Amino acid sequence: MSSPFRNAPPDSMVTEAIEAGRGARRRSRFIVVGSGKGGTGKTFLAANLAIQWSLWGKRVVLVDADLGLANLHVVLGLDPDAHMMTLLQSRRSRNGQGRELLVPGPAGVQLLPGGSGVEHLASLNRSELRRLVQRLEPCLDDFDVVVVDLSAGISKSTLLFLSAAPEILLVSNPDPSAILDAYAVIKVLSHSSIQERRVHLIMNRVRDVVAANHAGSRLLATTEKHLQQQVKMLGLVPEDDAVAISMARRQPFLLDRPNSPAAEAIRSVARRLLSSDGADARASTTAFFARSAELLAPRRRAPGR
């Protein structure tokens, strides 16, 4: 019997998508990985999807925007000695500044580290966020895919990335509290001035496929009915004991256990995302930076004050 986690388009579609991307004027895809509840598997999935795309020949950068509590480097087995605070603190913004912060990782993925245990990064004010985002832009223009790993919940910086994101990968677990928190995130986003965005759902750490599909379908139906936001189900990733084994060995999971059930499911999700229409300008990195500039524009004082 075929696995319920393996219902992806064939490899030929992936190849076509990659070829189409090469032919067209290069436009990088900007994907933000978020969740309501913490610990649903955002960092794990961001890292492994990035590795898979890189193995397929895409130039991929991972941005660790779990600012202050960043841990993507751990999942990738890296030990960076600088992070985004450097970007924020440098006096002048030069074109390309910050690229030296990029750390080469497994399978050719590049990492922009977010800073671990850096309290200040976790509570940036509006003008600091504006400066950070402005300085981020030139670091990311050499890539086909930008993957941003966020913290859970709706801190100021997380909300900015989610609100400006043209494409969101929402990671949930099948339990009711994770589903409720995923709904809450979409609800908060539905109040933002930027309405047009693609939201994909991944159900991670699935033990019961039927129950997870049921929970996912209900979430999709409810968001469409009450929040007028279409959410696409991208796939299920099973709970897999091999994940903890790779983590303990500090090996990137997809490279360490490529034939495990979770690795197969991640490949399937990676294919689907790549095959969905990525050449669309609205899903591009340029769109993200235009939207975030709009959201972070300095507030004008009312005349006469």
Ligand X SMILES: Nc1ncnc2c1ncn2[C@@H]1O[C@H](COP(=O)(O)OP(=O)(O)OP(=O)(O)O)[C@@H](O)[C@H]1O
Q: Which does 247 bind (CB under 5 to 8 A by kind): Mg ion, ligand X, none?
A: ligand X
CB closer to ligand X out of 39 and 258: 39
Cα dihedral sign, 40-112-51-145? positive
Which residues partner with 202 through β-bridges?
Answer: 171, 235
204 binds Mg ion (CB under 5 A): no
CB of 202 to ligand X, least distance (A): 10
CB of 262 to ligand X, least distance (A): 5
CB closer to ligand X out of 94 and 249: 249
* Window contacting Mg ion (CB under 5 A); options: 43-51, 107-115, 166-174, 192-200: 43-51
CB closer to ligand X out of 94 and 250: 250
Q: Which does 284 bind (CB under 5 to 8 A by kind): Mg ion, ligand X, none?
A: none
CB of 187 to ligand X, least distance (A): 19
Task: Tell me which residue of 204, 168, 210 sits closest to 185, measured CA to CA.
Answer: 168
User: Rounded CA gap, 48 and 268, in Å?
Assistant: 12
33 neighbors 294 (Cβ within 8 angstroms): no
Interface residues toward ligand X, by CB under 6 A:
35, 38-44, 66, 151-152, 204-205, 237, 239-240, 243, 247, 262
DSSP 3-state of 87: helix
Q: Which residue is nearest to Mg ion (CB)?
A: 43
CB of 87 to ligand X, least distance (A): 21
**Residue numbers 101-120 binding Mg ion by CB under 5 A:** none
CB closer to Mg ion out of 8 and 31: 31
Q: Which does 262 bind (CB under 5 to 8 A by kind): ligand X, Mg ion, none?
A: ligand X
CB closer to ligand X out of 43 and 223: 43
173 binds Mg ion (CB under 5 A): no
Cα dihedral sign, 244-29-65-90? positive
CB of 207 to Mg ion, least distance (A): 21
CA atoms within 13 A on the CB side of 26: 10
CA distances from 182 to 50, 280, 303, 304 (A): 22, 26, 41, 43
Count the residues in the chain.
Answer: 305
Q: Which does 40 bind (CB under 5 to 8 A by kind): Mg ion, ligand X, none?
A: ligand X
251 neighbors 77 (Cβ within 8 angstroms): yes
User: Rounded CA gap, 141 and 134, in Å?
Assistant: 12
CB of 12 to ligand X, least distance (A): 27
CB closer to Mg ion out of 43 and 204: 43
Q: Quick one: three-class SS letters along 267-298? A: HHHHHHHHHCCCCCHHHEHHHHHHHHHHHHCC
43 binds Mg ion (CB under 5 A): yes
CB of 178 to ligand X, least distance (A): 10
239 neighbors 205 (Cβ within 8 angstroms): yes
DSSP annotation of 8 reads: P
Q: Interface with Mg ion by CB under 5 A: which residues?
A: 42-43
